Structure 1
Amino acid sequence: MNELAAKRNAVTELMRISPLADDLAGLFAAAGHRLYLVGGSVRDALLGRLSSDLDFTTDARPDRVLEIVAGWADAVWETGIEFGTVGVTKRGSTLEITTFRADSYDRVGRNPEVTFGDTIEGDLLRRDFTVNAMAIDLSTKQFVDPHHGLDALAQRTLDTPATPQESFADDPLRMLRAARFVSQLGFEPAPRVVEAMTSMAGEIQRITAERVQTEVSKLLLGAHPRQGLELMVETGLATHVLPEVPGMRLAIDEHHQHKDVYQHSLTVLEQAIALEDGEPDLVLRLAALLHDIGKPATRKFESGGGVSFHHHEVVGAKMARKRLRALKYSKQIVDDVSQLVFLHLRFHGYGKGEWTDSAVRRYVTDAGPLLPRLHKLVRADCTTRNKRKAAALQRTYDELEERIARIEAQEDLARVRPDLDGNEIMKLLGLQPGPQVGEAWRFLKELRLDRGPLSHEEAVAELRRWAQERGIS
């Protein structure tokens, strides 16, 4: 991308939304103020991917911005006004207008002491990366690029306007943002950025778990998550954020050969992504990355040079749950990811199809609504270099999916329930609501999983037999 072509892309994109931007710029000019399209919006315009969520900056103070947009915006919100940001919506677009900033940081926490600036150049200097430190003066359509962000964009390089040490000391979250941009945009961090991330990785502990989680999620949902994760591991950032990932780098000696668990997990992540349907799937990607984190804790060297990882799926599920909770993920995500990690190995007991119908039902029931993701995770986990073995594994899983489909055609596997409900159980056994009803219900569900649907008479007979064995009249 040469400079002229890049600017032409930006202007083309700007013209696409120009009535909106021009209207807003006109309002600010009439009020004696300047307005700039800035940051990620300019970067995306240069890349030809400008969205309807736009970022602006201005010399007008927040109270003045509110006066200017009053009556023009469809809606206004002041959530970020203490940081100088006024949000507005107009014709379906979301616009954030922030007063020039010239903040200072105590370098203990992350939140700055907000100070408003007077120049666009001063505002751009405090931004995270040079590709985000460009602006377009909307009154003249001129570029403002004091830190050569356009060159960095053309070279797909990630660098900081100030020194990386200054930038990351002000806000350590920028180190994670660097890894996120590597994933999202395929950029290469400048050597000095990598060096600063490596020496300052521990500073990320100043950042709250919620903010860390947001960046980790964006990284995983990017187009190149493997590269972003590798940067985190290479610099030591992952040791403080996702320590289980670098923890999978196991030393392998010549007498005990096994896969490099870390590289294998990154490969599984990539293969799971290739199996996604449409939108990126955070739960699937987290499960793919973490599915083998229990291996280091369960590794055992066997006689004859073998290596085992017995019950690593059980240990891994507990570890995944603990890590995701620490990162403040939602209960649903924690439950789903840990359950996928727990179930990912079960298929390998399927062998040559000797599972009973009961085992198939339990596989489907235990997966529940996660079954489509489990299918993808298991297929992605078949990473052997032996092409014949890999093809055999895929064929075996094809057979399992076909078998599930055949049983589903006869039974509602998605909603396996006992053949008698709680009310019938209480009526037949003369019970009041209580623990015994729950025990009977679970017995009938296990029976249903083992034998498939029963007739009403069979279910009643089995319930009476169960009750008699326990002395329930």
Structure 2
Amino acid sequence: MRRAQENAVVEMLDIAPVADELAARFVAGGHRLYLVGGSVRDALLGRTGSAGGDAPRDLDFTTDARPEQILGILEGWADAVWDTGIEFGTVGARRRGYVLEITTFRADAYDRVSRNPTVRFGDSITDDLMRRDFSVNAMAVELHSSPGERRFVDPYGGLAALANGVLDTPAAPQESFADDPLRMLRAARFVSQLGFTPAPRVQRAMTEMSGQLARITPERVQTEFTKLILGAHPRRAIELMVETGLAEQAIPEVPAMQLAVDEHMQHKDVYTHSLVVMEQAIQRETDGPDLVLRLAALLHDIGKPATRRFETDGRVSFHHHEVVGAKMTRKRLRELRFPKSVVDDVAQLVYLHLRFHGYGKGEWTDSAVRRYVTDAGPLLDRLHRLVRSDCTTRNRRRAAALQRSYDSLEQRIETLRKQEELDAIRPDLDGNEIMKLLGVPPGPLVGKAYKHLLAVRMERGPLDRAQAEAELRRWAEEHGVAP
């Protein structure tokens, strides 16, 4: 029965011809070659980019051949070969648009202080699969010299786990996570990307060992967290991180939001509210997953615990939490080594997310609308989505009123944009014109005059040439500058 199931699995896999070509060369050299890990998992899931998806593809293999023997087998066949990972037993190659990684069986030992193994080569596919992170990644297909000669290898129940959507480890999870604590965060990432549920023993081990994540460098944590946020189910993954204590290690400001009560009294806490906002922001994405928007939605209220105040009327307030939150966001994302552009954009969205609530019933002046657009800059579209997503009230009348108010603001922005080319607001005189009219050389004085004209432009809208020159002369006279 099991053999029949294995044969059926092999028949399901649309394995690329290049894999069979490579296998024929290994067999001719007296070695075995296995398609392994994520390549097999994704092929069984039918995910693009796997062995059966659309090109270009990455394929992972393992073999009993040693690295120097792998190099010999690839010689004259691969379009390109690189050996940057050869000390870990991995040789990379490219063949007809496929990127191939071939790794010698491993039987590593870990010092459990860092996550760096003492590399030891093995001789058994079963032992090699035992050292992998999760059983769904511990499946392999042995390839032979002809396409019909294949064998499915699944010693740790990966196929059943895949079918049931369960994330388990080949070895005891405590052993696996002690070897490499990053695997705990990778578990949360697979929850987000694949919708899996950790096995009870895996979640227990994550909870017991969450402090071990401190062994991992911020760069590696950021890489996994980014993949997690960009997955299909980031809320489930964030909840898992908070429940197990991983979030305390990676991004402690998120679980800290559980301490604050939402001022609208519509959620258990600000933490839950922020997860809902993130989900609603995701629903508003139009061009695929947006890292900046998702991070801003998750973090927009992280300043609330630090600004929480209990008012005399019994309500809870969080005055200026957007200012505090922007600073906290910048600090945390920098510590996680996010790119500067991501840090700046997310922090600015957090800083601006409350600005709209001053719009009220539409009494903003055109100047205020101009400032809103100018301060948002290229983030304006994301700011629109974030602000709309931040409405989580269950009061339908209030929610509808907020959406109508924002509709009104967007309409005014569009009207002003058409009238004034709002996206590129500049003073009505440039630096060269200022220097010529005032008869001054380049220097701080020109910058001050420029800033003044920009403020006037923001307040009054476009000026014609004569008005702009008169305003500059008035400013110069007030500041003792004789044109």
TM-score (structure 1 length as normaliser): 0.96
Letter in 2 for 1:303: T
Give % identity: 70
User: In structure 2, what is the equivalent of residue 439 of structure 1?
Assistant: 448
| Structure 1 residue matching 2:103: 3-state secondary structure | strand
User: In structure 2, what is the equivalent of residue 209 of structure 1?
Assistant: 218
Within the candidate set 20, 23, 26, 1:25 is matched to 23
Within the candidate set 297, 303, 314, 1:305 is matched to 314
Superimposed CA distance per residue, residues 361-403 of structure 1 (whole angstroms, 9 cap, x where no aligned partner): 1111111111111111111101111111111111111111111
User: In structure 2, what is the equivalent of residue 48 of structure 1?
Assistant: 46
What aligned pairs does 1:4-23 form with structure 2 within 5 A after superposition? Answer: 8=8, 11-15=11-15, 17=16, 19-23=17-21
Are the equivalent residues in 2 in contact too, given 1:36–1:58 (CA < 8 A)? yes
Letter in 1 for 2:67: P
Between 3-12 and 222-231, report the one with greater CA deviation.
3-12
Letter in 1 for 2:376: A
Please say if 1:334 is aligned against 2:343. Answer: yes
| Structure 1 residue matching 2:119: 3-state secondary structure | coil
Partners of 1:323 and 1:433 lie apart in 2 by 39
Partners of 2:143 and 2:420 lie apart in 1 by 63
285 and 257 in structure 1: CA distance in 2 versus 1, 3 angstrom threshold: closer
User: In structure 2, what is the equivalent of residue 38 of structure 1?
Assistant: 36
| Structure 1 residue matching 2:259: 3-state secondary structure | coil
Please say if 1:80 is aligned against 2:78. Answer: no
Within the candidate set 126, 132, 148, 2:137 is matched to 132
Letter in 2 for 1:406: T
What aligned pairs does 1:104-143 form with structure 2 within 5 A after superposition? Answer: 104-139=109-144, 140-143=149-152
Structure 1 residue 14: Cα displacement: 2.6
Structure 1 residue 8: Cα displacement: 4.6
Partners of 1:312 and 1:8 lie apart in 2 by 58
74 and 330 in structure 1: CA distance in 2 versus 1, 3 angstrom threshold: same
Partners of 1:353 and 1:178 lie apart in 2 by 47
Partners of 1:100 and 1:228 lie apart in 2 by 32
Letter in 1 for 2:443: G
Structure 1 residue 57: Cα displacement: 0.8
| Structure 1 residue matching 2:117: 3-state secondary structure | coil
Are the equivalent residues in 2 in contact too, given 1:10–1:47 (CA < 8 A)? no
Structure 1 residue 12: Cα displacement: 3.7
Please say if 1:193 is aligned against 2:202. Answer: yes
Superimposed CA distance per residue, residues 200-221 of structure 1 (whole angstroms, 9 cap, x where no aligned partner): 0000000000000000000000
Partners of 2:203 and 2:349 lie apart in 1 by 34
Are the equivalent residues in 2 in contact too, given 1:265–1:290 (CA < 8 A)? yes
Partners of 1:105 and 1:466 lie apart in 2 by 70
What aligned pairs does 1:258-297 form with structure 2 within 5 A after superposition? Answer: 259=267, 260-297=269-306
Partners of 2:460 and 2:304 lie apart in 1 by 35
342 and 9 in structure 1: CA distance in 2 versus 1, 3 angstrom threshold: farther
Are the equivalent residues in 2 in contact too, given 1:291–1:344 (CA < 8 A)? yes
Letter in 1 for 2:72: E
- Contiguous gaps of at least 5 residues in structure 1: none
6 and 432 in structure 1: CA distance in 2 versus 1, 3 angstrom threshold: farther
Please say if 1:61 is aligned against 2:47. Answer: no
Partners of 2:413 and 2:62 lie apart in 1 by 57
Partners of 1:447 and 1:13 lie apart in 2 by 67
414 and 8 in structure 1: CA distance in 2 versus 1, 3 angstrom threshold: farther
Are the equivalent residues in 1 in contact too, given 2:261–2:270 (CA < 8 A)? no
252 and 453 in structure 1: CA distance in 2 versus 1, 3 angstrom threshold: closer
Letter in 1 for 2:274: S
Letter in 2 for 1:353: G
| Structure 2 residue matching 1:14: 3-state secondary structure | coil
Within the candidate set 395, 401, 410, 1:386 is matched to 395
331 and 4 in structure 1: CA distance in 2 versus 1, 3 angstrom threshold: farther
Superimposed CA distance per residue, residues 324-349 of structure 1 (whole angstroms, 9 cap, x where no aligned partner): 00000011000000000000110111
Structure 1 residue 406: Cα displacement: 0.8
User: In structure 1, what is the equivalent of residue 244 of structure 2?
Assistant: 235
Superimposed CA distance per residue, residues 50-104 of structure 1 (whole angstroms, 9 cap, x where no aligned partner): 2411111111111211221122112222222221111112222211111111110
| Structure 2 residue matching 1:223: 3-state secondary structure | coil
- Contiguous gaps of at least 5 residues in structure 2: none
Superimposed CA distance per residue, residues 268-307 of structure 1 (whole angstroms, 9 cap, x where no aligned partner): 0000000001310111110000000000000111111111
347 and 238 in structure 1: CA distance in 2 versus 1, 3 angstrom threshold: same
| Structure 2 residue matching 1:154: 3-state secondary structure | helix
Partners of 1:424 and 1:257 lie apart in 2 by 55
User: In structure 2, what is the equivalent of residue 95 of structure 1?
Assistant: 100
CA RMSD of aligned residues (A): 1.8
Letter in 2 for 1:305: G
Superimposed CA distance per residue, residues 131-168 of structure 1 (whole angstroms, 9 cap, x where no aligned partner): 00000001132110010111111111001111010000
| Structure 2 residue matching 1:117: 3-state secondary structure | coil
Partners of 2:329 and 2:361 lie apart in 1 by 30
What aligned pairs does 1:150-165 form with structure 2 within 5 A after superposition? Answer: 150-165=159-174
Are the equivalent residues in 2 in contact too, given 1:291–1:313 (CA < 8 A)? yes
Partners of 1:8 and 1:373 lie apart in 2 by 47
Letter in 2 for 1:35: L
Superimposed CA distance per residue, residues 159-197 of structure 1 (whole angstroms, 9 cap, x where no aligned partner): 111101000000000000000000100001011111111
What aligned pairs does 1:347-426 form with structure 2 within 5 A after superposition? Answer: 347-426=356-435
Structure 1 residue 258: Cα displacement: 6.3
User: In structure 2, what is the equivalent of residue 460 of structure 1?
Assistant: 469
Partners of 2:6 and 2:401 lie apart in 1 by 49
Are the equivalent residues in 2 in contact too, given 1:336–1:370 (CA < 8 A)? yes
| Structure 2 residue matching 1:425: 3-state secondary structure | helix
Are the equivalent residues in 1 in contact too, given 2:6–2:152 (CA < 8 A)? no
Structure 1 residue 431: Cα displacement: 1.2
Partners of 1:137 and 1:178 lie apart in 2 by 26
| Structure 1 residue matching 2:349: 3-state secondary structure | helix
Partners of 1:263 and 1:223 lie apart in 2 by 18
| Structure 1 residue matching 2:372: 3-state secondary structure | helix
Are the equivalent residues in 2 in contact too, given 1:233–1:239 (CA < 8 A)? yes
Please say if 1:428 is aligned against 2:437. Answer: yes
Letter in 1 for 2:140: A
Are the equivalent residues in 1 in contact too, given 2:34–2:143 (CA < 8 A)? yes
Partners of 1:444 and 1:283 lie apart in 2 by 33
Are the equivalent residues in 2 in contact too, given 1:252–1:258 (CA < 8 A)? no
Structure 1 residue 6: Cα displacement: 8.8
